[in-house]
Amino acid sequence: MKIISQNTAFGGMQGVYSHPSDACKCDMTFAVFVPPQAVSQPCPVLWYLSGLTCTHQNVMDKGEYRRLAAELGLVIVCPDTSPRGDEVADEATNWQMGKGAGFYLDATQQPWAENYQMYTYITQELPALIGEQFRVDMSRQGIFGHSMGGHGAMTIALKTPDRFKSCSAFAPIVEPTTADWSAPALEKYLGSDQSTWRLYDACALVKDGAHFPEFLIDQGKADNFLDSGLRPWLFEQAIEGKDIALTLRLHERYDHSYFFISTFMDDHLRWHAERLA
């Protein structure tokens, strides 16, 4: 593991690191904020998955999480959104596909399958590295994310409910199999058999029997992507009659940006901290 940068913040340490990934077959970069409590004891881990076009850097610069994470004693891990490098397949003119748009899945189609193994990277390889290199309590993990990262957080929680104690999302893509900006990517990554797409769709997973106790979703009503890509009401419909609790909060005037995310970041951190205590 290579240290790219380390900066003291609110008594803790914000670091950026890179390492050679076996899953993605390239160097991967990630950020970790370690709170001051980790000096004396292992701390719970909260994973933040970023959205389309983003890297680990966006939430570091604009997410405004460190002050409260330090107070609550939360380790915040922020992975990248896709593999990177000159040899990694990409569609340079398509922001919804390729670098920055990994959709947190394991691709099966060429040329994507060679590097785009983000589900394995997020659920297996990176957690093993975090557990080895940082003072963390891996028995207390939560996960949240924004947009494509909200999709990733919800699907990962639904598929690995024994690992995570909490899950929330900002403006998640809840049904990517039918959304304008994600269905084409799923076909390129996974092929034309849409039954395989259901493994990476929160609504489909719930309909197929997956379970997670509860979710918190915040959504801006002025979000340009609300009706064409996000549609949180579809998840509300999918869990009807299921033993799954949902707190869905719709906010007037808020859009899809980090102005929205930073406004409600404290609410999410406190919500997770209560469940990771």
Q: Which residue is catalytic, options 56, 106, 223, 272?
A: 223
- Report whether 185 contacts 161 (CB < 8 A): no
Copy the structure tokens of residue 66: 């460190």
Q: Minimal CA–CA distance to 158: which of 8, 169, 129?
A: 169
- Strand, coil or helix: what is 206? helix
Q: Does residue 266 have an active-site annotation?
A: no
The 3-class secondary structure across 104-141, one letter per residue, is CCECCCCCHHHCCEHHHHHHHHHHHHHHHHCCEEEEEE
How many Å apart are CA 16 and CA 35, to the nearest integer? 15
- The question of whether 223 is a catalytic residue gets the answer yes
CA angle 23, 24, 26 (to 5 degrees): 125
**Secondary element (H or E) of residue 59:** helix 56-62
The strand order across the sheet containing 136-146 reads 2-9, 12-21, 26-34, 75-79, 43-49, 136-146, 164-170, 214-220, 245-251
What is the three-class DSSP state of 203? helix
For residue 229 the two structure tokens come to 């890509």
Annotated catalytic residue: which of 56, 146, 151, 256?
256
Q: From the candidates 21, 82, 147, 182, which is the catalytic residue? A: 147
Note if 139 is an active site residue: no
185 by DSSP, 3-state: which? helix
Task: Give CA torsion, residues 78, 139, 137, 215, to 10 deg.
Answer: 40
Distance of CA 125 to the CA centre of its chain: 15
How far is residue 213 CA from its own chain's centroid?
Answer: 18
State the catalytic residues. 147, 223, 256
